[in-house]
């Protein structure tokens, strides 16, 4: 089961527009149609903070909670984006997932929400 307990801390620079990027090269979840198999991907999360920011240890625990969950990579990307907006209320966020499959096939998913930062 996915834990959505993402802790936050106040953003000391909430009046400044900036972005944060987190790359998690070991994102794992179970195949939705074949839960005995594991999906491996690189997940990159970029967001423009508002009044609060991630507590990174709790956010990493949240990402690890996907490991035993049968969910498609598309659904996982959108779930992470939805949970981010629920807890952080960022100005903008993007979740990018990339995985390489057999025969050189590359799958990329990008979910985005909010006003892009210029």
Domains and CATH numbers, the chain: 28-114 (3.30.1130.10)
The pLDDT value recorded for residue 57 is 92
Q: 61, 24 in Cβ contact below 8 A?
A: no
For residue 4, name the pLDDT band (cuts at 50, 70, 90): low
Longest CA–CA span in the chain (Å) reads 48
pLDDT surpassing 90 at residue 81: yes
Mean pLDDT of 52-65: 93
d(CA 59, CA 110): 19
Please state, rounded to an integer, the average pLDDT across all residues of the chain.
Answer: 93
User: Residue 73 — left, alpha, or beta (φ > 0 → left; ψ -120 to 50 → alpha)?
Assistant: alpha
pLDDT of residue 1: 58
48/91 Cα distance (integer angstroms): 5
Residue 49 has phi, psi (to 5 degrees) of: -65, 160
Give the residues across from 30 on adjacent strands.
38, 70
pTM for the model stands at 0.91
Query: Is residue 74 pLDDT above 90, yes or no?
Result: yes
What pLDDT is stored for residue 52 in this prediction?
A: 96
Q: What is the pLDDT of residue 101?
A: 87
pLDDT at 112 over 80: yes
d(Cα 43, Cα 17) in Å, to the nearest integer? 23
- What would the pLDDT profile of 8-51 be if each residue is shown by its tens digit? 999 999 889 999 999 999 999 999 999 999 999 999 999 999 99
Phi, psi torsion values for 87, nearest 5 degrees: -90, -40
């Amino acid at each position: 089961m996915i834990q959505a307990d993402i802790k936050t801390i106040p953003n000391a620079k909430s009046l400044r527009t900036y972005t944060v990027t987190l790359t998690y090269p070991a994102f794992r979840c179970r195949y939705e149609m074949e839960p005995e198999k594991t999906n491996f991907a690189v997940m990159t999360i970029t967001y423009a903070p508002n009044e609060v920011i991630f507590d990174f240890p709790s956010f990493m625990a949240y990402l690890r909670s996907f490991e035993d969950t049968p969910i498609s990579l598309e659904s996982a990307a959108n779930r992470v984006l939805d949970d981010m907006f629920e807890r952080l209320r960022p100005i903008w966020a993007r979740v990018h997932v990339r995985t390489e499959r057999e025969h050189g096939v590359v799958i990329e998913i990008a979910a985005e929400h909010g006003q892009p930062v210029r």
